[in-house]
Amino acid sequence: MDHLFGTLAAAVGVFAGTNVDDLIVLAVLFLSSRAVGAPRVWQIWAGQYAGIGVLVVVSAVAALGLTIVPDRWVGLLGLVPMALGVRGLVGAVQADPAAADPVGRARSAGLLPVAGVTIANGADNISVYTPLFRTAGLDESVVTVAVFAVLVAVWCLAGSWLGSHCTVVAPLRRFGHWMVPAVFVAIGVVIVIRSGVVARVVGLSM
């Protein structure tokens, strides 16, 4: 029983410690959903589960000794939200906000972009999850994945609560179509800079 509690505590601690910044992203997404209808709530939930699921699968595979993305190049995943954000900003510039179709906006900031930004924002989580799965047995790994699944729901609920307590919903009804793309670009820039991958690319080109 003590062993089970230890596994549960470790899983909760690892997930919470590696996904604190994800709460901010979720709050922005839910706030945007309330303000302009995009992305839709189900797309945020499904995208979050899909993104975390990919991170867990990659970590489990890496724990078996197979490296899909070398650690020193994982920062390149930051280009994913950057590309999505730039595309969204270009669309916002070209579109008429007053005549924009909310359904169309939901498609442009839907499930796949949410999953993509979750994966990119949590790319460094792989370096934490991998040793966790490498040292855990099958039973412990199953418990850990189950805890992660429950905590994704907790994170989504917390993000929704945070998004509903912001005082800027009214202005975002007018300018919200800019918000999610801008956040995606910012997340991508932070990931790329923090990873040091730019210096490595420059070093290879010299």
Residues in the chain with pLDDT < 70?
Answer: 1-2, 66-78, 80-81, 92, 95-109, 165-180, 183-184, 187, 190-191, 194-195, 197-206
Residue 134 tokens, joined: 């490498």
**Mean pLDDT score across all residues of the chain:** 76
Three-class secondary structure of residue 193 per DSSP = helix
Residue 198 tokens, joined: 């730019």
Supply the Cα-derived Rg of the chain in whole angstroms.
18
Q: How many CB atoms lie within 10 A of CB 193?
A: 13
pTM above 0.75, yes or no: no
Tens of pLDDT, residues 104-148: 343 456 788 889 888 887 877 887 788 788 777 888 899 999 999
Query: CA-to-CA distance for 164 and 34, rounded, in angstroms?
Result: 8
Three-class secondary structure of residue 122 per DSSP = coil
Per-residue pLDDT, 104: 37
Per-residue pLDDT, 150: 97
